[in-house]
Amino acid sequence: MKIPKVADIVGIINKIAPMALAESWDNPGLQIGDPAAEVTCVMVALDPTPAVIDSAIAASCQLLVTHHPLIFKPLKSISTATPHGALIQKAIRGGVSIVTLHTNYDIAKGGLNDLLAGKIGLSNSVPLKVTTSGELVKLVVFVPVDRLEQLRSALLPYTVTLGNYRGCSFAADGIGTFTPLDGAAPFIGAVGVPEKVNEERLELLIERALLPRAVKALLAVHPYEEPAFDIYPLLNDGEKQGLGRIGRLSEPITLAEYAARLKKVLSAPALRFVGDPTALISKVALCSGSGASLLHDAVRAGADLLVTGDVKYHEARDAEDLGLALIDAGHFPTEIIMVHEMTERLGRAVATAGYTNCRIEACRTETDPFRI
């Protein structure tokens, strides 16, 4: 029986939604709890509300994963006389650790914005506002010819996918020279004897963030005591990631029809829109939650429509002035979809990691604070 600790689940979440992707003002990660505590039940929810924390305690869950942070601005005190302080105390007393996702999950490939794009019928969507271009490095390593393939297969998992091409590498042969000194235990040759070896120069393109793991893998399989390798910084852009998405509908549809369709697929009790109801929509930008700040990005990207939530009156006026249709489907309806998705994904990832005694539950008691 293998039971994960809070830190293990945080590690799994970090693979789904790397914390490094989060906006600079954001605060995702472990907010409350003991990284070393064992977890036999995880609850997934949108908001860390009192009712949600009660649900987690009632279900004997030791970890609550939410999209919105419980602790967002720096705290000056934790007084249980305030609702926020009482909530923090409730989680700690109930033995519930809290991990939050937020903009790292919005931005991540396969994250909340991609999920929303799929739900509202967009294909081939790309980030609307690029927030990171992924720093790349070139790793060059010299290896005896007969060990090339072993080293290549150890390093390929860390290489960058170029468009639709995975497993990209390059190798060229040449001659390496060295003289083992006293104390050396050379894989090839003898101490004090100058050696010439047929070697391959293997080149790979790697994301900077994955470099430490790639070098560790290199050192683990390279046959030499002192493998020769070079790391070059590059000016090439890596994979672009960012907020919001923009993509196309399979066929144009009027704004009114599309709004009605979104109301249904997002189970929204109502939604508001700006623009001519008969206008044809084909290129759609979106931002889950609260994304009216991306109005200009949507216009620049040539969108006919921006789908988001939390739209203010003057933002609606701005959209009108810019000639951009706008659908306010609500913060809750555009984000509550993460609960089911994250529950499934965590369930699969926990099983793949070999943990046998940890169940993942969706919180089913959350409701939109807005009533119609």
Interface contacts to Zn ion, rule CB under 5 A: 289, 335
Q: Which is nearer to Zn ion, 97 or 288 (CB)?
A: 288
Please identify which residue in the block is written with the tokens 């793991």: 213
Q: Which is nearer to Zn ion, 97 or 100 (CB)?
A: 100
At closest approach, how far in Å is the CB of 76 from Zn ion? Answer: 24
Cα–Cα distance between 105 and 29 in angstroms, integer?
11
Q: Which is nearer to Zn ion, 217 or 306 (CB)?
A: 306
At closest approach, how far in Å is the CB of 341 from Zn ion? Answer: 15
Cα–Cα distance between 13 and 47 in angstroms, integer?
17
At closest approach, how far in Å is the CB of 369 from Zn ion? Answer: 12
Question: Three-class SS of residue 368?
Answer: coil
How close are the terminal C-alpha atoms of the chain, in Å?
48
Structure tokens at 4: 């994960």
Cα–Cα distance between 115 and 95 in angstroms, integer?
31
Q: Which is nearer to Zn ion, 26 or 335 (CB)?
A: 335
Q: Is 367 left (phi over 0), alpha (psi -120 to 50) or beta?
A: beta
At closest approach, how far in Å is the CB of 261 from Zn ion? Answer: 22
Residues 199 and 222 sit within 8 Å (Cβ to Cβ): no
At closest approach, how far in Å is the CB of 315 from Zn ion? Answer: 16
Q: Which is nearer to Zn ion, 101 or 319 (CB)?
A: 101
For 187, other C-beta atoms within 10 Å of its C-beta total 15
Residue 72 burial by Cβ neighbours in a 10 Å radius (0-12, 13-18, 19+): middle
Cα–Cα distance between 250 and 240 in angstroms, integer?
24
At closest approach, how far in Å is the CB of 288 from Zn ion? Answer: 7
Q: Which is nearer to Zn ion, 289 or 333 (CB)?
A: 289
At closest approach, how far in Å is the CB of 248 from Zn ion? Answer: 25
Q: Which is nearer to Zn ion, 127 or 289 (CB)?
A: 289
Q: Which is nearer to Zn ion, 335 or 366 (CB)?
A: 335
Residue least distant from Zn ion (Cβ): 289
At closest approach, how far in Å is the CB of 26 from Zn ion? Answer: 11
Q: Which is nearer to Zn ion, 318 or 335 (CB)?
A: 335
At closest approach, how far in Å is the CB of 70 from Zn ion? Answer: 13
Give the length of the chain.
372
Residue 261: its H or E element? helix 255-265
Residue 53: what are its φ and ψ, rounded to 5°?
A: -65, -40
For 28, other C-beta atoms within 10 Å of its C-beta total 24
Short-list 308, 248, 244, 323, CA closest to 282: 248
In the chain, beta strands by DSSP E: 29-32, 41-45, 63-66, 97-100, 123-132, 135-144, 170-178, 195-207, 229-237, 241-254, 272-274, 280-286, 305-308, 325-328, 359-362
